[in-house]
Amino acid sequence: MSEALELPKEHEVDVSWLDDMGEWGIKAEPSNRGMTLADIQISSYGELPDVSDNQTGRPRGATARPEAYRVGDYGVNNVSEIWLDNAEFLYEEALQRQWSSATDVPWETIKPLPDDVEEAECLLCTFFTEVEFVAGDVPARWIGKTSADYLEPRNVLAAQVMDEARHMDVFRKRALANGGGLMRMSGSTSGFVGSIDLSRDFTEMSTRLHISGEGAVLTMFRMGELFGQNEAEKTMYRLCAQDEARHVAFGVMHLRYLGATAPERREEIEVYLDEAEGQILAGQQNPASQASETSEALAVLLGGGQQNYDEGYKQLLAIRKRQLKEYMKRVESAGFGDRFTNGRSPLPKQYASMV
């Protein structure tokens, strides 16, 4: 009987692959939040290479296959170029706080608005649709450039792309939901795209996008309670703000990590911040000088109509000031706050008291 079950030699199973595997005997335990990325960063599977030579997409901890193809051109292959200490937390939060623009926004609360107010809202939504397109498109290009060994920040960036896609659709929906429509392209994103999308390095891109660009947008989303004309708009801005806060946190924590682990790059980062603050200063000196149409639309919304433009403009000044203050707090949290007191920043020294 046993002889009848023997396989011909040409059908013998080769199980030598069992000898080529990662560390054996690992048992990840879920925490009180479930099985998170942090829970599986254990033993050798949690060890990050300072420099990655993984060009094959090999999962971190898996045994290399010598004949594997080079499936990518992973130029981001140094841990300091991409890492941040809370990537796992940001990714899990992104998963748990997903929302639907179709069902989580109370669209039924939108009622007819005066033409000037509706036009202002539609112009603002057109602007935000442009901005969020850039904020999703640019990080997406860096995901495929990052070594698979640094999967946690890659996952956060992938979640950001999904967030920005949702932001694009929710602002487009609002523009089309109340008898208005998309307005003329603002044109203000051309410089935004130029300085971010042409970045030669991930940290350069992240500093410009997450710290400066998305930080300014986050402040505006948080102010949505003031210029939202109904519960649908206020909800829309509130939900977008919670997503945007994660994106900004990514930039702050990455900059903090890089500043601590690659101090030789601090001067380089200071130059990116110089550039951002030069633009901020121009906006502070003349809040309507850049994206003037968008600023005027905000003033109309804040005032509740064109007849109250002056009052709305005063509130816009307060928002611009808050944008600056929150930017400075982020830079300080990232470990570069001394630039505001040592004369490095192009911002006047009186602004240092805002930190």
**pTM for the full model?**
0.90
pLDDT for position 1: 46
For residue 228, tell me if it sits in a domain.
Answer: yes
Give pLDDT < 50 ranges for the chain.
1, 290
Residue 7, domain member (yes or no): no
The answer to whether position 198 is within a domain reads yes
* Rounded CA separation 37/39 (Å): 5
Query: Could you give the count of Cα atoms lying within 13 Å of 97 in the half-sphere of its Cβ?
Result: 18
C-alpha to C-alpha distance for 136 and 133, rounded to whole angstroms? 5
Domain of residue 198, residue span: 79-354
In Å, how far are 51, 155, 236, 304 from 230, measured between CA atoms? 51, 34, 10, 12
Contacts of 207 (CB under 8 A, 6+ apart): 251, 255, 269, 272, 273, 276
What are the φ and ψ backbone dihedral angles of 67, each rounded to 5 degrees?
Answer: -90, 5
* Count of residues in the chain: 355
Nearest-CA neighbor of 81 among 255, 216, 231?
A: 255
**CA dist., res. 223 & res. 85, Å (int):** 29
> In this structure, is residue 130 part of a structural domain?
yes
1 inside domain? no
Instruction: Tell me which H or E stretch contains 314.
Output: helix 309-331
Closest CA to 63 of 8, 12, 22: 22
**28 CB-contact burial (10 Å; exposed 0-12 / middle 13-18 / buried 19+):** middle
Q: What is the pLDDT of residue 337?
A: 95
Residue 8 is predicted with a pLDDT of: 61
- Please indicate, yes or no, if residue 342 is contained in any of the structural domains: yes
Measured distance CA(343)–CA(341) in Å, rounded = 6
Counted domains in the chain: 1
* Domain contains 14: no
In sequence order, what are the beta bridge partners of 31? 34
Cα–Cα distances (Å) from 339 to 204, 223, 347, in that order, read 18, 28, 10
Residue 35 backbone dihedrals phi, psi, to 5 degrees = -85, 100
Q: What is the CATH number of the domain that holds 270?
A: 1.10.620.20
Q: Does the residue 273 lie in any domain?
A: yes
Any idea which residue has 């920005």 for tokens? 164
The DSSP call for residue 188 is T
pLDDT of residue 279: 81
Q: What residue has token string 């968008």?
A: 294
Q: How far apart are CA 144 and CA 154, in angstroms?
A: 8
d(CA 66, CA 57): 13
CB 148 within 8 A of CB 58: yes
Helices then strands, each counted (H, E), the chain: 12, 0
